[in-house]
A and B are shown apart, each in its own frame.
Chain A
Amino acid sequence: MSGKKIGSYEELLQLSEDARRKILVREGSDVMVSVCTGGPGNETQAHEVARALAKEIGKRGLRARVGLKESTGLPVTGTVVEVRTPRDGVVLYGDVTPDIVPVLVKEHLLEGQIVREHLLSQSRGETFRTGL
């Protein structure tokens, strides 16, 4: 098992950084992305979106968390994703598919741009509470 041995300070810091990403989910964050689970038939799609979101956010090392939320959304809007950030308040996107997740993450979470094509609503008024 000598392959695991940490040989220097820098190696430890690197390992810590990598390991931290894996349990980042357990730390609090003020950026929360919630995928709404719709009616019975819609769950698979919601989970696919959630999976894609988690992967994309993990890849980019963002501080956002991906949660699930029982939906009140309409069937016409497909899978609904709610993004809460301190800057933009609560933004609802409709008709989200795993394909557009990278766009959503890049534009909204990374660059702070609302993705207009999928926007359902935005509310800045809601008091924001951090998770932890």
Chain B
Amino acid sequence: MPENQYRAHVLCCRGTSCTAGGSADIFELFREEVAKRELEGDILISISGCHGLCSIGPIVVIYPEDILYCQVEPSDVPEIVEKTLVRGTIIERLLYKDPRTAVPVPHYHRIPFYRRQQRIILKNCGIINPEKIEEYIARGGYQGLAKALYKMSPEHVLEEVKSSGLRGRGGGGFLTGRKWEFTKNAEGRPKYIVCNADEGDPGAFMDRSLIEGDPHSVIEGMSIAAWAIGADKGFIYCRAEYPLAVKRLRIAIEQAREYGLLGENILGSGFDFDIEIKEGAGAFVCGEETALLASMEGKRGEPRPRPPFPAQKGLWGKPTNINNVKSYATIPQIVLHGSDWFSGIGTEKSPGTAVFALTGRVNNTGLLEIPMGTTLGEIIFDIGNGITKDRKFKAVQTGGPLGGCLDATSLNLGVDFDSLVEAGALMGSGGMIVVDETTCMVEMARFFLQFAVAESCGQCPPCRVGGAKMLEILDRITQGEGRMEDLDLLEDIASTMKDGSLCALGQGTPNPVLATLRSFREEYEAHILDKRCPAGACPALSPSPCQSACPAEVRVPVYISHIQDGEIAEALRVHRESNPFVSVCGRVCPAFCEDKCRRGELDEAVAIRDLKRFMADAESGDWVPRPAEKLETETVAVVGGGPGGLTAALRLGSLGYRSTIYEARPALGGMMRFGIPDYRLPKDVLEREIESILRIGTVDVKTGTALGKDVTLEDLLKRHNAVILAIGAQGCRKTGIPGEDLQGVMTGMEFLAAMNSGEDVSYVKGKRVAVIGGGNVAMDASRSLLRLGAEEVHLIYRRQRADMPAIEEEVLATEEEGIKFHLGTRRWRSRKLSAEEERVRFHYLVSPLAIEGRDGRVAELRCERLRLTNDRGRPEFDGSARKRPFSVPDSEFVLDVDLVIPAIGQKVEQPSLESEGVSLNRDGTIIADSRSFETSRKGVFAIGDAVLGPASVVEAVGQANRVARAVDRYLRGLALPEPAEFMPREEPRRFEMSEEDAGRPRVKSSVLAPEVRVQDFREAELGFPNAKCAWIETKRCLRCDLEERG
């Protein structure tokens, strides 16, 4: 046998996805190249079915070295032959790289995507040539059938399938053995075996891949079913849109007949069975078994009421057993290995494995097989490797368009037939679509509904009329024309459809709407009440993703285009319409706009914050805001002189109201002044910005006047006509560990406030400090401590780096500054941390236990290590979609420190409010209406951190803009909240981008080298080096706001 001598095998994936990527050419090229080098006798070039990781195709696997090359181009083939097949080296460029760490993984089976899978149904996919029956037989193929025919009676096979507990993999989860039994016991002959391969869900490709990769497993499973039931004819109903699957099935059936594995006298046993393929026209409803049968009989593909079930009266009125592709493919394994083996996998009620097509916003998309009971979190975060671009997980849609979506609270749900139904979703045939915060749930529900409505057969009115009506309502809501009554109406129609529809399509159509209404009702309300799409995805409600993402709704693309045209003054005017803090936000804004920037989907987001800073720095002259021409007699008290209070006072001035800012501290600025160190926001920049706001001339300032101490709410309401509380969140949360009252313990905010108000903090010099927390305050404290000369800073955080709430740039800057540098090198950006060099030590997955003291002073911090798996070695997820840390037994250790700075979050500290009639939440934040900002006391409004909890400058500004309008309406006696208006938008027009701009990388701003900036409090980020850089960067903007809608 000459084939025996092949030293190596090269398998080119010929699944649909890789074939579309050109793997047919790659296959031919490999043959040519290998022939050219006269290696045909040594190396077998073959094809395989789908490997599952379709996003990295075309895939080539080389055995025995087990090398996986991905995204192979035909031009790579000569190199692969030369380097790998002739010389035995690995081409690193073509290896699979971990999407997060970019570390290449040379060996196919070590790719994390595969490590946690258990492949039973897909065991041959990607390993054998699906067009060669010999390779299937080599992997134990048809031995299940042989065992059934020679060693088991039909009853015995049926008993085995029944006791395995196998449930229908098509999604219904009905016991396969029971179904077989019904057909077997039904009166009438002949009996038929039908395989339902009419897979039509968007985003699902399990059945297709299985047929394309391992068609014989389905044929073998059907043959065993026929033996058990007593049938001699089988049909595979496959949609004609799957030409490759149909082709492979044809080849497989032909080969099986040649080998005597189909047809008469199979394996010499005397048993006859043959299979025919029926091609469907692709109607989704034909996946429903009675519609499928009707279609096979040549009638319209419409469902009919059951009973009688197909088991009694199926195809042409004869008893018919219908199962899904995956159910049949599992049967040979059960017969071969026994029911005990099978029922030992998965959960008790849902034994075996589940195949999912994981798609959407995960790093690894593709086909996977896991034991039932694996949690959604493990699938998405371990196998799927988390959300792309480290965005926040929002929801996962399981079960296709008729399934439901589950939010972060369901990540610990073990996946099986019953648990998903209980949670309000479906197993379905196995589609799993992950969405992140950039997906609008209303739009997603609308999308699935649109699909289901288009696929309704129109036979029964609840489905035909109800679906169309629901779609009409959702269309209206996504257009911003919805009404609150619509939500009840949707639920009403949904329940009628569920009760009255004939088949699963009509009953399931409302599922996505109901599921999103249950978990994401506030998104529907935002569309209706605010005319805003929180995800920035509905075109009618969101002029551009950046503008939608900005809490102050700054018209980002407009000012960027003004910068491009050199109109700095105009650009600033546009920005200040929505946000007066251009200089401040140009330095410290978390830049929600950049997170959502569509350019970021291509390469990197436009450097919006840097552009903002550029225009602020480029301003010539002083900005003088103008008050309204006529001033009203009413006045307003604004409590708190932070970003919220200042913006509110400014907006009130332009609406014609005089206001007085009451500030407890000696100077205005709030957190901008007392929370943010100088190296991020120099005081003079802040002063200038505040000064220009006050130039409006309608604002009185009373500093050193604290609410509840120097003045009461009652006083303010007597003096003024309305009060806006913008008091911020000044208090710091306690860790609750013993020893917090020792000398040398101070909260992060206390430390920053002391430093920023000029108090003497020189005592930190030479000290070893532990900072507890992973937020921006912790980073600010650590970086300030370094600048003040602390000897060592230990950052203690209970989770991993990726989970830190601090802005990524801040964490990076802290890491950079924490290293002791050898002067003379500038290549610090690419340098890796090494332990000896660190001055800031990051202790991840560590939790403080107690602060130990000596003579009343801090002496050491006792900590313990944490891990992200529970004692059974499995991860658990919390409501924020992050893995929950668990303590590691006996892992205590001690850090010798002199100071401990807990920075684990701020809280509102204003207990006097409650006694003055302003209700508070349990966490101390003020209860205020989210649209009108009214508190429980008439005439008193609240905004900013005091309502939101610790937030950002731009969020406070956004609320301040709106509270000023609310106060205006209140004073004029108009109803609150104000009716929502659409966001302003540009007229759509044609916009073209040059090739050069399309390929241009993001322009980097200047940053001081860490070894320089860590010496003192000089500003670390320097903005764009010159105007040309800014101009070039503006040209990268895609101008999403000019897009045509509709």
Contacts and interface: CB of A to CB of B under 8 A. Distances in A.
Interface stretch (A12-20, A92-100, A104-112): A12-20
Interface string B124-150: 000110000011011111110011011
B341 interface: no
B260 interface: yes
B63 A26 contact: yes
B143 A37 contact: no
Contact of B268 (A7, A18, A25, A50): A7
Contacts of B258: 1, 4-5
B233 interface: no
Interface in A32-86: 32, 34-37, 43, 47, 50-51, 53-55, 58-59, 65-70
Nearest to B267: A6
B42 A132 contact: no
B220 to A, nearest CB: 12
Contacts of A68: 8, 65, 84-88
A3 B725 CA distance: 91
Given A5-B259, A13-B143, A58-B5, A25 B87 contact: no
Contacts of A20: 138-139
A56 to B, nearest CB: 9
Contact of A7 (B41, B109, B260): B260
Contacts of A36: 88
B263 to A, nearest CB: 9
A21 interface: yes
B3 interface: yes
B599 interface: no
Nearest to B38: A47
B259 A19 contact: no
Contact of A43 (B41, B64, B86, B267): B86
B1044 to A, nearest CB: 52
B4 interface: yes
Interface in B133-184: 134-135, 137-143, 146-147, 149-150
B1 A70 contact: no
Contact of A6 (B5, B9, B108, B261): B261
Contact of B9 (A23, A53, A70, A132): A23
B150 A15 contact: no
A47 B39 contact: yes
B87 A70 contact: yes
A23 B42 contact: no
Contacts of A127: none
A54 to B, nearest CB: 4
Given A34-B88, A43-B86, A131-B107, A16 B141 contact: yes
A9 B3 CA distance: 24
Interface residues of A, number: 43
B137 A16 contact: yes
Contacts of B316: none
Given A12-B146, A12-B267, A28-B109, A23 B85 contact: no
Nearest to A5: B260
Given A7-B268, A23-B128, A37 B260 contact: no
Nearest to B266: A6
Given A1-B258, A5-B259, A7-B268, A51 B88 contact: no
B585 to A, nearest CB: 53
B937 interface: no
A4 B146 CA distance: 16
Given A12-B142, A32-B64, A50-B7, A19 B88 contact: no
A47 B633 CA distance: 97
A19 B134 contact: yes
The listed residue with most B CB atoms (<10 A of its CB), out of A9, A34, A59, A69, is: A9
A58 B88 contact: no
Given A25-B8, A54-B5, A67-B64, A19 B42 contact: no
B89 interface: yes
A20 B138 CA distance: 4
Contacts of A50: 7, 42
B264 to A, nearest CB: 10
Contacts of A18: 1
The listed residue with most B CB atoms (<10 A of its CB), out of A8, A26, A70, is: A26
A7 B63 contact: no
Interface string B247-281: 00000000000111100000110000000000000
B791 interface: no
A116 interface: no
B88 A16 contact: no
B570 interface: no
The listed residue with most A CB atoms (<10 A of its CB), out of B3, B66, B88, B260, is: B88
Given A8-B268, A50-B7, A50-B42, A19 B137 contact: yes
Interface string B76-94: 0000000011111100000
A29 interface: yes
A29 B64 contact: yes
Contacts of A23: 9, 127-128, 135, 138-139
A22 interface: yes
The listed residue with most B CB atoms (<10 A of its CB), out of A4, A29, A59, is: A4
A39 to B, nearest CB: 10
A67 B142 CA distance: 31
Nearest to B140: A16
Contact of B63 (A13, A25, A70): A25
Given A7-B267, A16-B137, A22 B1 contact: yes
Contacts of B143: 12-13, 16
Interface in B1-19: 1, 3-9, 11
B134 to A, nearest CB: 4
A58 B88 CA distance: 21
A126 to B, nearest CB: 17
Contacts of B146: 9, 12-13
Contacts of A8: 267-268
B7 A70 contact: no
B137 A15 contact: yes
A9 B86 contact: no
A17 B674 CA distance: 78
B7 A19 contact: no
Contact of A51 (B41, B84, B109, B135): B41
A21 to B, nearest CB: 6
Contacts of B86: 37, 43, 47, 68
A64 B898 CA distance: 61
Contact of A16 (B6, B11, B42, B138): B138
Nearest to A18: B1
A111 to B, nearest CB: 22
A50 B5 CA distance: 10
Interface in B823-851: none
Nearest to A34: B88
B786 to A, nearest CB: 41
A13 B268 CA distance: 14
Contacts of A59: 4
Nearest to A132: B109
Contacts of A132: 66, 108-109
A15 B140 CA distance: 10
Contact of B42 (A5, A37, A51): A51
A84 B415 CA distance: 41
The 5 closest A-B pairs by CB, nearest first: A68-B88, A65-B64, A19-B138, A5-B260, A54-B7
Interface of B: 1, 3-9, 11, 39, 41-42, 63-66, 84-89, 107-109, 127-128, 134-135, 137-143, 146-147, 149-150, 258-261, 267-268
9 contacts: A6-B268, A7-B260, A9-B146, A12-B146, A15-B137, A22-B134, A23-B139, A25-B6, A66-B64
Given A47-B42, A132-B109, 12 more contacts: A6-B267, A6-B268, A19-B134, A19-B135, A21-B1, A22-B135, A23-B127, A26-B9, A26-B63, A26-B127, A43-B87, A68-B88
Interface of A: 1, 4-9, 12-13, 15-16, 18-23, 25-26, 28-29, 32, 34-37, 43, 47, 50-51, 53-55, 58-59, 65-70, 131-132
